[in-house]
Amino acid sequence: MSFQDDMDTVFLGADNPFAETISYTPTAGTITDIVAQVVRGAPESVDRPKADKSHHYKIEITVSKTDIPTVKINSDIVSLLQHGTLKTYHVAGVLYEDSVSYRLGLV
């Protein structure tokens, strides 16, 4: 099993209670429903390197590069349920990137 397979089937798989379906709209594309790990809450509660603590994101998501191969900051749009209501956010920053995923900050 590859790292990408692990990301897609384990980390973002149906058995992960923290994974949820969101709608992702890339700048030059159509809206797509994907599975992401969503972190809601105050930025102070999220453990990040010191350099990133100046950024204030309402929500952070981790997505697979299988679903989203490229990210366009301030242009891509994410829609997800927040307190039972569908809310729309812009991708404001890439907090982390590796060979299989992105961790994105939303505002």
Q: What is the pLDDT of residues 22-69, one digit of tens each?
A: 999 999 889 999 999 998 875 554 555 554 555 678 899 999 999 999
Number of domains into which the chain is organized: 1
**E strands along 1-107, which residues?**
19-25, 32-40, 59-64, 77-82, 85-97, 101-106
Mean pLDDT, the chain, as a whole number? 83
Instruction: Report the pLDDT value the prediction gives residue 45, as an integer from 0 to 100.
Output: 46
At residue 49, the 3 state secondary structure works out as: coil
Instruction: Report the pLDDT value the prediction gives residue 101, as an integer from 0 to 100.
Output: 92
Q: What is the pTM of this model?
A: 0.79
* pLDDT over 90 at 76, yes or no: yes
d(CA 34, CA 45): 25
Q: Answer yes or no: are the C-beta atoms of 106 and 60 closer than 8 Å.
A: yes
At residue 65, the 3 state secondary structure works out as: coil
| Mean pLDDT value of segment 57-85 | 93
Instruction: Report the pLDDT value the prediction gives residue 48, as an integer from 0 to 100.
Output: 52
Task: Tell me the pLDDT band of 8, cut-offs 50, 70 and 90.
Answer: low
- Structural domain of residue 32, as residue ranges? 3-106
